[in-house]
Amino acid sequence: MKLGMRKTSLAKSFKARTTAKYKRKVKKALIPGYGKKGMGWIKNPKRAAYNKAYKKTTFSIWDLFK
């Protein structure tokens, strides 16, 4: 994997910011492990490994403003 800039998706960014906290609270109450750190490794280790490497080797346009 090479170092590069991630493409931003305005639709996904908007969806993440507008998901109601009440919806997350309901999911957390109903689904065991929802929102817990490290659950991705249990659920899908291959995807979790890819995401970890991807996150470390790329950067977002928003990182340039930090």
pLDDT of residue 46: 97
Under a CB-based contact definition with an 8 Å cutoff, are residues 8 and 61 in contact? Answer: yes
Residue 1: partners with Cβ closer than 8 Å, 6 or more residues away: 53, 54, 57
What string of DSSP letters covers 11-56? HHHHHHHHS-HHHHHHHHHHSTTTT-TTHHHHH-HHHHHHHHHHHH
pLDDT tens by residue, 18-29: 888 888 889 999
- For residue 2, name the pLDDT band (cuts at 50, 70, 90): low
Residue 24: partners with Cβ closer than 8 Å, 6 or more residues away: 35
pLDDT tens by residue, 19-63: 888 888 899 999 988 888 889 899 899 999 999 999 899 888 877
